[in-house]
Structure 1
Amino acid sequence: MTKCRTPVLAVVIPTYNEVENVPILVQRLEQTLAGIDWELIFVDDDSPDDTAQRIREIACEHPQVRLLQRIGRRGLSSACIEGMLATTAPYLAVMDADLQHDELLLPEMLLRLQREPLDLVIGSRYVTGGQVSDWDAQRASMSQLATRLGQHLIKADVKDPMSGFFMLRAGVLHQCVRGLSGVGYKILLDLFATYPRPLRFVELPYRFRPRQAGESKLDEAVLWEYLLMLIQKWIGPMIPARFIAFSLIGGSGVFVHMLVLWVSFKALDTSFLVGQSVAALVAMTTNFFLNNLFTYSDMRLRGWDLLRGWLSFVAACSVGALANVGIASWIFEVHSFWVLSALAGILVGAVWNYAVTAVYTWKRPKAA
């Protein structure tokens, strides 16, 4: 019986709408990693452009290529975690499918890990010799802000904590995987913040190339998810990141509610009941669309599902409002402490709204 050889290196690449880049990347990696026992694991979040099918076709001719296709969920960090856990290789590399990372750096990364007492080798744009392609002002400012925030969190002298291009020993992942948040797009920062001891690392310079095909996925939603991951690391894993996002957006709804109430009740001279009703509906509507855009960006509702989702969201929040008032009134009658009563009512309403809308508004699609 022939014994299968365990690959030395697994390259994990999350994909979403990268059908044009996949064959080019496979070809480049074959040339770069010649002479190394390696495998390539694509983790595709059910791309509508048939990226997964293209990977299957390539895998028929290239046995080192593997595919994990995820249905009903999205997220770069969680995709990287699943891909890294799906291999027995002792060394794990993570890179993007958009051809912006320099695959020629991979052999040197592997050699440094094999020969030196390092846990991690990072491809860096911000050490001497590294550089980025032409970025517009918005992307450059977003990257700089995220880098500064990340450096404060991990308390390590990492010049490029936002890098999505790195290689690590598999044991590093296995020691901290249960503490990883899996939120957002920056798994490297999550690893630094979660690992129980300071990581031994080195940063190698490379040029961050311009994207050749497809569209960049860096937008406001990505920065929002990054901030959520930072908040969760600061407060601990007991509170889900989605609940943090849901609560923050709910807090913004208070401002919207008061503004609409003022316009209706004071400026338009309606009755307080009418103004309060309109304000509540507008606030719930803005909260729904913001949650759909940011909190549940990986399960975003579209088309007719958007209308169904809005109706279920308003219904759930209406019941949550009644629970808020009921609990607050009961505690006030017992203890006569209005601040505590109000906060308790708000907490009960928030938990109700989050739990019910997570089940009925943003339902995960069933796998076919």
Structure 2
Amino acid sequence: MPELTVVVPTFNEAANVAAVVEAVDRALAGVDWELMFVDDDSPDGTAERARDIAQADRRVRCVQRVGRRGLSSACVEGMLASSAPCLAVMDGDLQHDPALLRPMLDTLRGGQTDIVVGSRHVAGGGVGDFSAQRQGISRLATRLSRAVLKADLTDPMSGFFMLTRPALMGCLRGGVSGIGYKILVDLFASAPRPLRFVELPYTFRSRQAGESKLDSKVVWDYLILLADKLVGRYVPVRFLAFSAVGGLGVGVHLVTLALVFRGLGVDFVSAQVIATLVAMTFNYVVNNSLTYRDRRRRGWRFLTGWLSFALACSVGAFANVGIAAWLFQRQTFWVVSALSGVLVGAVWNYAVTSVYTWRK
């Protein structure tokens, strides 16, 4: 049984696989280790490249996930697929320095630490060639994480860390969500007791090959993760995201109605129908891209999904109006009546589309 498993989540990192294996081998000389690539079915052949190397080196393993995406969930699956008592997570683009793995392991061997975090913000660390904009975003994300963290980490955005198996299992049973990219925040926020941690400095390096996976959807995933940690035990986080998109859809509806009715001179009823279809389509596209990113519909299924979404939301609209009218007729304050109708419609739309439009 290896003492240490290094989990490397990958997507389109075929050009870096061999270099990662070589770097880990140099860094962990004399250690019984294994390297676990967890690949989200990369079209560039990352999984195939990892398996080719594994044929010659039994310390290299590959878990290929088909139909699933997400860095955090990939890390969790990789760690659970290992039997090692110590578990590390690092990126597959060589921006994390594998030379830090040995000091991390030595720290865990002392028995007084649950998790060792590679930090860019303690003395001796650095962010490398981060742009001013990216540094600003990182600082903002760090401040937002304070709302859910149970530790005074200097670099909660780090994706480079090592922890013991008991610490991992405690966090998993504490409710790790596996949402998005910031698995370290998820672990600390889910721990049933404060984790004993040590931060070791490292300098973030430039990518060796391939392209960065960071985009605007990473920001969305991070906000959803924070929301899940704050209120997820009371309200499903997907419902919150679904409702937020619905709020934006109201704005789209009003803007479209104004343009068609006031700007183009179309009669009100026709303009209302057009605005409803536009808003409904907007809600479907955004929810398909963000709220149900892990169940995204593509190709022909995208069109059939729109049909089922439109049908469900049409029924939800009738329920909204019906409940509001029924309460108002019974002398309920008009604001309460309206909000009750909106809530019933929103719950209906979320429940039905979750089951039929974006079913697993």
TM-score bin, normalised by smaller chain: over 0.9
Q: Which residue of 2 aligns with 1:292?
A: 288
Matched to 2:17, the amino acid is V
Match of 2:180 among 181, 184, 208: 184
**Kept after mapping to 2: 8 A contact 1:81/1:182:** yes
CA offset at residue 291 of structure 1?
A: 1.6
**1:271 to partner: Cα distance:** 2.5
State the AA in 2 paired with 1:175.
G
Supply the RMSD in Å over aligned alpha carbons: 1.9
The CA distance in 2 between the partners of 1:54 and 1:332, in whole Å, is 65
Aligned to 1:144, the other structure's residue is in SS state helix
Residue identity matched to 1:355? A
2:80 alignment counterpart: 85
Q: 1:172 aligns with which of 167, 171, 175?
A: 167
CA distance in 2, matches of 1:34, 1:164: 23
Aligned position for 1:120: 115
Change beyond 3 A, Cα 1:161–1:259: same
What secondary structure, in the 3-state scheme, does the structure 1 residue paired with 2:7 have? strand
Does the 8 A contact of 1:142 with 1:223 survive in 2? no
For the residues of structure 1 that align with 2:116 and 2:276, how far apart are their CA atoms?
51
Corresponding position of 2:25? 30
CA, structure 1 residues 147+355, in 2 after alignment: closer, same or farther (shift >3 Å)? same
Q: What's the TM-score, normalizing by structure 2? A: 0.93
Q: CA deviation at 1:284?
A: 1.1
In structure 1, distance between residues paired with 2:40 and 2:344: 34
Whether 1:266 aligns to 2:262 is yes
Asked whether the equivalents of residues 133 and 209 of structure 1 are also in contact (C-alpha less than 8 Å), the reply is yes
Moved more, 304-313 or 17-26: 304-313
Q: Which moved more, 1:295-304 or 1:39-48?
A: 295-304
SS in 2 for 1:14: strand
Output aligned runs, 1:16-27, within 5 Å. Answer: 16-27=11-22
Number of aligned residues: 359
Distance 1:212 1:305 in 2: 37
Partner SS, residue 156 of structure 2: coil
| Structure-1 residue corresponding to 2:106 | 111
What is the TM-score normalised by the length of structure 1? 0.91
Secondary structure of 1:31 counterpart: helix
Which amino acid letter does the alignment assign opposite residue 33 of structure 1? Answer: L
Displacement of 1:48 in angstroms is: 1.6
Moved more, 305-314 or 18-27: 305-314
CA distance, structure 1, for counterparts of residue 116 and residue 49 of structure 2: 30
2:270 aligned with 1:280, yes or no?
Answer: no
**8 Å contact from structure 2 (residues 171, 188) kept in 1:** no
1:200-224 per-position Cα deviation (integer Å, ceiling 9, x unaligned) = 1111111111112121111110011
In the alignment, the residues of structure 1 paired with residue 4 and residue 131 of structure 2 have an alpha-carbon distance, to the nearest angstrom, of 35
Structure 2 unmatched ranges of 5 or more? none
**Aligned sequence identity (%):** 60
**What whole-Å deviation, never above 9, does each CA across 1:261-296 have from its counterpart, x for those lacking one?**
223333333322122211111111111222222222
Structure 1 stretches of 5 or more lacking a match? 1-5
Letter in 1 for 2:291: T
Given that 1:12 and 1:43 are in contact with CA atoms closer than 8 Å, whether structure 2 keeps it comes out as yes
Matches within 5 A, 1:1-368: 6-178=1-173, 179-334=175-330, 336-364=332-360
CA deviation after TM superposition for structure 1 residue 335, in Å: 5.4
